[in-house]
Structures are given as C-alpha cells and as structure tokens.
Amino acid sequence: QQPVQSPQAVILREGEDAVINCSSSKALYSVHWYRQKHGEAPVFLMILLKGGEQKGHDKISASFNEKKQQSSLYLTASQLSYSGTYFCGTEMLGYALNFGKGTSLLVTP
Amino acid sequence: EAGVVQSPRYKIIEKKQPVAFWCNPISGHNTLYWYLQNLGQGPELLIRYENEEAVDDSQLPKDRFSAERLKGVDSTLKIQPAELGDSAVYLCASSLGGTGGEQYFGPGTRLTVT
C-alpha cells in the first residue's frame, strides 16, 4: 500500500524551515527517507525503525509515530542544496519498501 | 567505495524491440532491487533478489519482463518485446540485506520506446 505524502510541493526561501509528512494505513516496521535531484538517483537520508525514535543529521531530522503510522521529515534553516524531491518509503515486516509519490522542494535564494 | 553501476544510462528503441539493462551492485551487498520510476512518481519495485534467489517478483510483468542474477552479483533486466508504456527510468538498488536496511541506488537507465 502506497504511503501518502504531504504537501505535494513546497517553495522556501533559503533559511526557512519545512516539514514533510508521510502516512500509512498499515502497521509499519520502518520508514525510510530519500532525496532525489532531477536526473539523479535517490539518495538515502535516514531510516526510522519501529519504536518512535527521532533521528537527524546536520539540519535534517525525522520522527516516526508508530501509533499513528506517520513520519515527518524536518528541514531547518534550509539551504539551496536541499532542493529536490523527497520520498518516504514505508516498510512492513517481511515486505519490500513502498515509496510515496514524493514531495517537491524548491529552495530559492 | 564504488556505488551501484548501471548501464546503459540512456536507451531509445522502437516498440516491439528487445532491450536489456545491466546492474553491478555495491560489493558485499546481498540484496538487489530493480525499480521502475515514472515521471513524477516514486520508485516501484519490480523484483528483489536475495543473493541469486528472486524473493519478490510479484510486480514483474512476466509476459514481457525477465531478470536474472547469476552468481549473486551482477543482474540483468530484460524487456521483450518493449511497449510504448515501458518508457520510464529503470533503477537498480542494493543493500546489505535484511529488514530495515538502507538501499543505495544506481543512476538509472532512462528508456524511451518510440
């Protein structure tokens, strides 16, 4: 079952913050986040495992609420390099990842 | 460390022709995935290998698509015959294996069927 991402697109000015949400109707084992720039391969950002942990590196962090089967990706003090399409991939135990349709993020100067 | 290698990067063929894509995963990665990505969409799994065994091929259109992973390393995905609707980017990814592991994607092959 494909997870639902919101918003579909967002435009930010450099330095502003953004939140991207990912939700599933199924009980999840993990949530993966990837960023893809135009014409390039998706690049792994982070995994959140069942347990409600929060992770982060640099100014990008994420949380996973297993009660609600929702994950959120937080981008703080956005940089031009953050532009791209962000995909969440949801994983049920024993099954392959299901990717959402993506959220297009554009950071402008 | 070298990443996932795919070739060719671009391919243009006429409908009804065959086409093949090649993938070399990251060394030591037991799990290999083939995805299809349409414009504006997320990757969709076609087939997943654990070593040489195809453990999930439920989304592979077996009437025209085939895949193999000989010796548990490189993999080839073939389409025969290609249809106009097969135009897409074909991504290969690999991971160490097991549940919850990060996947590393190759640059993909952009297929255009005319």
Quickly tell me which residue has 């956005």 as its tokens.
A78
Total domains in chain A come to: 1
For residue B82, what is the domain's CATH number? Answer: 2.60.40.10
Could you list the residue range(s) of the whole structural domain that residue A76 is in? 4-104
Mean of pLDDT over chain B: 93
Q: Is the model's pLDDT at A53 over the cut of 70?
A: no
Per-residue pLDDT reduced to its tens digit, B55-72 = 989 899 999 999 999 888
Interface of A with B in 4-63 (CB under 8 A): 29-30, 32, 34, 40-44, 47, 49
Q: Is the model's pLDDT at B26 over the cut of 90?
A: yes
Contact by Cβ (8 Å): A66, A52 = yes
- Is position A27 within any domain? yes
Total domains in chain B come to: 1
Per-residue pLDDT reduced to its tens digit, A71-102 = 999 999 999 999 999 999 998 877 788 999 99
For residue A32, what is the domain's CATH number? Answer: 2.60.40.10
Is A91 in Cβ contact with B103 (below 8 Å)? no
Could you list the residue range(s) of the whole structural domain that residue B18 is in? 5-63+76-97+107-113
- Is position B102 within any domain? no
**Nearest CA-CA partner of B22 in B90, B85, B104:** B90
User: How far is residue B94's CA from residue A29's CA, in Å, rounded to a whole number?
Assistant: 19
Tokens of B94: 């690999």
- Is position A109 within any domain? no
Min Cα distance A78 → chain B (Å) is 23
Q: Number of residue pairs across A and B with CB atoms under 8 Å?
A: 50
Contact by Cβ (8 Å): B73, B25 = yes
